[in-house]
């Protein structure tokens, strides 16, 4: 049965040894990768989106999203320390819930990373356009800096940054990590400066009404900005390229999440206190949907009379500083975002290419996707394929819709990870766990319940994308992966503890042998 083609943990580790990536990342590099992936999207890009959904209550939304991520991170830490190979939730679910669920998780992660990378590229484009306009007086035509949903034609700056990051990832992991470390320092310095300038002028009246759209608006905002935290998942996808992963993965996961949550809370409080963050309403008194044409039109009408509330800004934090009299510093912060947001795009693309890589290595996708460049030692083909999809999304879709769509896949994958931890605690009690999730029978259900709740508060179109995307994935699976699966063919699936690692053989040789040499798998 396809639902119960289970690849044992021992087999997963053995497969990784046969076609493995170079272990070059230490705990500090990995933590910085996590911080680079998390900080940026929620603060530099999604502050305006969260304000439109929750007003000042977006501060609570950051806490809710951070809490759900925290309990999910604890589950990720246990599994990633047990199975220190690439693949993240896909790999874990393969070992616990079977191939069919693993495919669905991997397919969901592809949606998560590609759409999230596109969202950040669109956010970067907003800062880039604003920086050119306010610092150099260069105006990029509106139609060439916005997609159709925002009233334009194509977002060319977003396309350009996607192409640049794809090229960098092809060059190599160590080089990418070094580049990312520099950008993380720039990003933290910029946010610290923002806090120092915004808090002295904070006005408590700007926090009223605190919940203009009620508690449902806060949870809806949490559902959207949840995707700003998913960088910690990208950390676990780098397990196979990490030194001492049993120790370093859990430390990097929890450390990066803690650092980022603190910054999110303080910076959002500074933005609300300095200029306010009330949402724009329609004629019926309901909040307009972020990323909608209706919101874009109302923002354009306000801009025509010299008004630009924070919910309309494509460069929210730089806008706040300009509003409180720090125009040059605001331009500098825009420059910092311009320099730093590519680190988030880098980590999202990094995560997706590694998911593709492992699915291909398991035979569920064509083998060509797991080929490693002879010189750069990176999965170059899958990186370029991924880049095409991400670039297309960034070119034509707005940041609000991209964020919500990304979350539909993210929340499903995180829920499966929490379920896998609990199932393994019962099924495989004696397996070594370098990191154990504390209070698993409390933390696990909280993670599952939190993911389901946030999914239910996503916009309808975002919730519909997930079943449609899943349906496409099932077609691909039954046309290719179901028949080519290495587990189904008895490849890389040892039945005992000995001789786990065989010499590398061409895939064609395996297919010749499998008629006569099938290895039993868990049914």
pLDDT tens sequence across 322-352:
888 888 888 888 888 887 778 778 777 877 7
Question: Is the Cβ–Cβ distance between 420 and 179 less than 8 Å?
Answer: no
- State the pLDDT at residue 445: 96
- Averaged pLDDT of the chain: 78
Query: How far, CA to CA in Å, does 57 sit from each of 72, 100, 207, 485, 505?
Result: 23, 40, 8, 48, 57
Mean pLDDT across 384-397: 85
Least confident of 8-12, 141-145, 211-215, 382-386: 8-12
State the number of CA atoms in the 13 A half-sphere of 411 facing the CB.
Answer: 29
* Closest listed residue to residue 25, CA positions, set 83, 90, 86, 74: 86
* Closest listed residue to residue 199, CA positions, set 267, 277, 261: 267
- State the pLDDT at residue 151: 74
Percent of the chain at pLDDT above 90? 10
- Asked if the model's pLDDT at residue 1 lies above 80, the reply is no
Percent of the chain at pLDDT above 70? 83
Q: What is the DSSP letter of 143?
A: G
Mean pLDDT across 443-456: 94
pLDDT tens sequence across 41-91:
667 778 888 888 898 999 899 889 988 988 888 888 787 777 666 556 787
- Asked if the model's pLDDT at residue 475 lies above 90, the reply is yes
pLDDT tens sequence across 285-321:
788 887 777 888 888 888 888 788 888 887 888 889 9
pLDDT class of 495 with cuts at 50, 70, 90:
very low
Token pair for 198 = 């915004």
As a whole number of angstroms, the distance between CA 151 and CA 89 comes to: 37
User: Residue for token digits 């500090």?
Assistant: 28
As a whole number of angstroms, the distance between CA 467 and CA 462 comes to: 10
Three-state DSSP state, 354: helix
- State the pLDDT at residue 176: 57
pLDDT tens sequence across 145-187:
887 877 778 889 999 998 888 888 887 655 555 666 677 788 8
Mean pLDDT across 465-486: 89
- State the pLDDT at residue 233: 64
- Asked if the model's pLDDT at residue 402 lies above 50, the reply is yes
pLDDT tens sequence across 352-368:
777 877 888 888 888 87
CB atoms near residue 439 (< 10 Å): 10
Higher pLDDT: 506 or 375? It is 375
Per-residue exposure over 157-189, b if at least 16 CB sit within 10 Å of its own CB, e if not: bbbbbbeebbebbbbbbeebbebbbebbebbbe
All structural domains of the chain, each given as residue ranges with its CATH number in brackets, are 33-456 (1.20.1740.10)
- State the pLDDT at residue 238: 66
């Amino acid at each position: 049965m396809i639902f119960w083609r289970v690849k044992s943990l021992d087999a997963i580790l053995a497969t990784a040894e046969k076609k493995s990536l170079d272990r070059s990342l230490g705990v500090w590099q990995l933590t910085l990768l996590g911080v680079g992936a998390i900080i940026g999207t929620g603060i530099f890009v999604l502050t305006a989106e969260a304000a439109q959904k929750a007003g000042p209550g977006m501060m609570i939304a950051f806490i809710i999203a951070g809490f759900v991520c925290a309990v999910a991170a604890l589950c990720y830490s246990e599994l990633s320390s047990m199975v220190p190979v690439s693949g993240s939730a896909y790999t874990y679910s393969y070992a616990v819930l079977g191939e069919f669920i693993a495919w669905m998780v991997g397919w969901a992660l592809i949606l998560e990373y590609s759409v999230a990378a596109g969202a950040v590229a669109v956010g970067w484009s907003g800062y880039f356009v604003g920086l050119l306009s306010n610092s150099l007086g260069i105006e990029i035509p509106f139609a060439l800096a916005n997609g159709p949903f925002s009233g334009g034609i194509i977002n060319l700056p977003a396309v350009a940054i996607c192409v640049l990051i794809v090229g960098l990832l092809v060059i190599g992991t160590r080089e990418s990590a070094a580049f990312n470390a520099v950008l993380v320092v720039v990003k933290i310095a910029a946010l610290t400066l923002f806090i120092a300038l915004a808090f002295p002028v904070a006005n408590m009246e700007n926090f009223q009404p605190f919940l203009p759209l009620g508690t449902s608006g806060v949870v809806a905002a949490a559902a959207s900005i949840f995707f700003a935290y998913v960088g910690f998942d990208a950390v676990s996808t780098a397990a196979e390229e990490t030194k001492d992963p049993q120790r370093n993965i859990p430390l990097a996961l929890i450390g990066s999440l803690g650092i980022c949550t603190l910054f999110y809370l303080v910076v959002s409080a500074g933005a609300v206190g300095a200029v306010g963050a009330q949402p724009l309403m329609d004629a019926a008194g309901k909040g307009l949907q972020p990323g909608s044409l209706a919101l874009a039109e109302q923002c354009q009408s306000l801009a025509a009379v010299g008004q630009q509330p924070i919910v309309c800004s494509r460069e929210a934090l730089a806008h706040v500083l300009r509003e409180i009299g720090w125009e040059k510093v605001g331009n500098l912060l825009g420059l910092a975002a311009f320099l730093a947001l590519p680190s988030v795009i880098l980590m999202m693309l990094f995560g997706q290419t590694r998911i593709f890589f492992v699915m291909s290595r398991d035979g569920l996708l064509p083998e060509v996707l797991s080929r490693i460049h002879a010189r750069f030692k990176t999965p170059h083909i899958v990186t370029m394929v991924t880049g095409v999809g991400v670039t297309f999304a960034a070119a034509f879709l707005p940041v609000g819709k991209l964020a919500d769509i990304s979350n539909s896949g993210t929340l499903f994958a995180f829920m499966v990870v929490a379920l896998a931890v609990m199932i393994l605690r019962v099924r495989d009690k004696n397996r070594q766990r370098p990191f154990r999730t504390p209070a698993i029978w409390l933390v696990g259900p909280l993670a599952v319940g939190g993911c389901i709740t946030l999914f239910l508060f996503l916009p309808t179109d975002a919730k519909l994308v997930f079943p449609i995307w899943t349906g496409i994935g099932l077609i691909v699976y039954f046309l290719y992966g179901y028949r080519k699966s290495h587990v189904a063919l008895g490849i890389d699936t040892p039945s005992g503890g000995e001789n786990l690692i065989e010499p590398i053989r061409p895939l064609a040789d395996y297919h010749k042998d499998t008629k006569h040499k099938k290895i039993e798998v868990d049914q």
